[in-house]
Every structure is written in structure tokens, then in C-alpha cells.
Structure 1
């Protein structure tokens, strides 16, 4: 699936394929989706501005719009799986969100850490969920986001086990992608984030943490969904965690500095 174009991948998803998207369409940027009623759009923009690591906004569509500059497609159909929330409660999980769409919804495309995984691999840092064919593990933390208007909630993080001698490399590589979560928010003891058990993620799948590896945590674009659950807006449409919107933007568009050398350590 790495060699598919974004348009080819989105066509498969529109046809009903449901799958996590890590490793798909190499070199193209994947995004989280959160669509909220127009009267909450400003609150969410402020929430994202105040919490840029978990909520880096790549684009905002006009109310009711389905596509934009980085997406020659339809946010209602081109994601493998959606979650629908009414008053903060998940009421459906569906591969097609058109039934639930409203003309007053504003779609936000939020950066995804899948964007920097190819750079991690090029630097010799393993990406375990890709190795094991699993969804990335994600956890709600005890770390609070800074609230904005009607929106507030905990930070969600994704986790990748990194060999101890490569932690500094992983930090340096991902710090060059500030528009897609950037550097880790925490390295080491998950208990400091209020995570009791790495084997029991709140979203996604558990992955193997090998001897000599350190859990490294990045801000995660599922954070808006945690805010939705807590803040209870009348309607929200989001991607199912790990089932991303594959855009037409390139990963290199969000890289600060030159492309990393393949095989660099």
C-alpha cells in the first residue's frame, strides 16, 4: 500500500475498505479529522492554538465544505472509518459519514504523527506498530490541555518504543516536524502521564516493548475527540483513531530544514 497515490487509497476507502493507514501512500501526509458545528469553530481554533503539540491544524474548511487545498476529495467518505458523537457520546462507527453530515459543520484537518514515521525509519529508528501490522497505541493522559471556550479535556498521546541509544535521534528527527506534533511530550515512565498499563491503550493496539527500549510519547490528534467526550457538543464527526485521512500534501511540506538522508543514524 506504500506505493498507492492518495487518490487511489481514498477510492478504496470510498469502496468500503476499512483499515488503519500507517504506512500507506509513502511520502504523503495523513491527517486527523474533527468536524464541529460552526458555533464551536472559534473555540476549537483557540483550543488548537493553545495546545499545538496534540492539535496542530493543517487546514480548516468552510462550513459545509468537503474538500480543500490539500484534499482533492471528500472528508465525508474518504476516511476508512468514522466516529460520530452526539452530546459527547459515540453513537456510531461508520465508513461513510454523509448520513450524519450537516451544512453547518466546520472540518478541521489536524496533523498526524504518521507523517514523520518514514523519517524515523530513514534514521534507523524502528516503528513497532508498522513492523507488527498493528494500529499505533494511543493513551488518554492525566495531563490537561488548556481549555478554550466550551472545549476542554485531557491530552492524548501516541507511543513508540525506541531503543535507548536512539532516543535522542527520535527526538531530533521529529522536532523537525512541528506542524505534525513535533518532538515528544514525554520520554520514559508512563506513570508520569497517568498511564497505568502500556499493554492496555485507550485507542489502537498494544505493541511489543523490547528489552533496552524506552516508551516515547508524542501528542496525538485524537485529543480533540477526548475534548468532545468531556465537553459534549451536540454533534462531532471524527476519524476512528488510526484510520486517517490521506491528503494530497507531501510529508516534506511540513519538514523544517533539508530532507533527512536515507540510512542516516
Structure 2
């Protein structure tokens, strides 16, 4: 049974896989890349609220069934262990998470939108013979067209989590959020982890920042983007210049709202 749960969410290509790779070094922690739990909960929730069987469910039963998804997926977890479930959908379900796990926090990995787009484009360039699922395996579109797809607020790889994050940031459950900026994580990993442990009320565990291991080759191959979730062994900042057109990079240059104190009306914790 899952007794202690936190969620990892936020924006893509912003360090969530790296954070999971680090956290899972702690034997008390269970963490991995995007899990199917959010999708399973969403499907079950819909079935319990609509259709011919909805009459058989009240709020208490719905909550028990949804917690059961976590318990089943993470079967074998010991009471003293902590589960970190990853999905970019979680920021859009902050109120539901409060109802299911009142003590849970949503850890949001963030990064400048221009650099996220740049990271996606670099992955595509590394695999020119592959077609990516995130673009419906369609060949031949320009970077400008791909950005429009990525930034779609309903289903885009960046646009949907970007919308969810802003909703959570300005919503009533904003106090549940913990923001982890990508640059901070790679430039000062130990300090960032210590701050996270403190915020979660967990005893410190000494992490090996020079031998980090994580890879999901089968999942990445299914997406048509080999190496998408492969983490480098050493945590460090690697300086580079943008590979996308400068006008695209400039278009999103001022979108990091978490860096503007006047917009942090709920005093979200930023590590």
C-alpha cells in the first residue's frame, strides 16, 4: 500500500528523468520516468462518473478505487518507502490529488520554453532516419510547424503541460507545488536535492552525482526518438548555443513566469 506519495510533473525536457534517476539512488524511494498511473486513474474516474454504472459510486468509493490504482501499480512498496510518480498531467489534477493524498506534493521541473524546443529539435536531428510519434510519424514539416504542434494547449508535448502548470501555479492548490528549475538542478544538484529533502521532510541521503544511471530504450524506440530518456552519468551543466532559428527562441524568451516575483502570488516554493 502506498502511504507516502509525491508527484513529479512540470514541463518536458526539463530534468524530470534526471531527478528520478537521482532520487531512485535512495533505497527508500521509488521513482521512474512517466508512468501510466495518471492515465489509468483518468479512465477509471470517467467510468465511475458517467455511464450506466455511475449510480453505484459515491465520492468515498471513487477515492478508494483511485487510490487502489496506485496501490496495485506499486504493489510491494513498504510502508516506510516513498513513491514519486511521474506524469505531466498531475499539475492539472491538483485538487484530485489533495482529495486522495492530502500530504502529497507536486514537484514541477521547469525550463525556458526556447530551450525545451531546442532540446526536442536536437533529439530529432540525432535520429534523422526515425519519425517521431509526437508528430504522428509525419515527415517533412518545418521547425515552425513542429513548434505549433508542440505548443498546442490541448495535446501538445509542451503546450498541454505548460497550460496545466500555469493553472496549478495560479490555482488554490499552488501551495502543494515545488518548482525545480533545470539550470539549478544541473548546476547545483546537491544543494537542490538537499532543499527538496528538507521541503519533503525526508532524512538526507548522500547521492552519487558522478554515476547516475537511467535509460528506457524500448519506450524511446516506440516513440521514434532513441535516447530520449537516457541520462548522462555525471550531473553537470553543458553550455551550448541554440540550434533553432533565433526568431523562434526570441518568441518564448519571456515566458518563464516563475522568475517573476509579482506573479508568485501563492508563494510557491522554488528550489
What's the TM-score bracket when you normalise by the shorter of the two chains? under 0.3
- Higher relative contact order by CA 8 Å / sep ≥ 6: 1 or 2? 1
Q: TM-score, normalised by structure 1?
A: 0.25
Higher helix share: 2
Task: Look at both structures and tell me which one has the larger radius of gyration over its CA atoms.
Answer: 2
Higher strand share: 1
Q: TM-score, normalised by structure 2?
A: 0.25
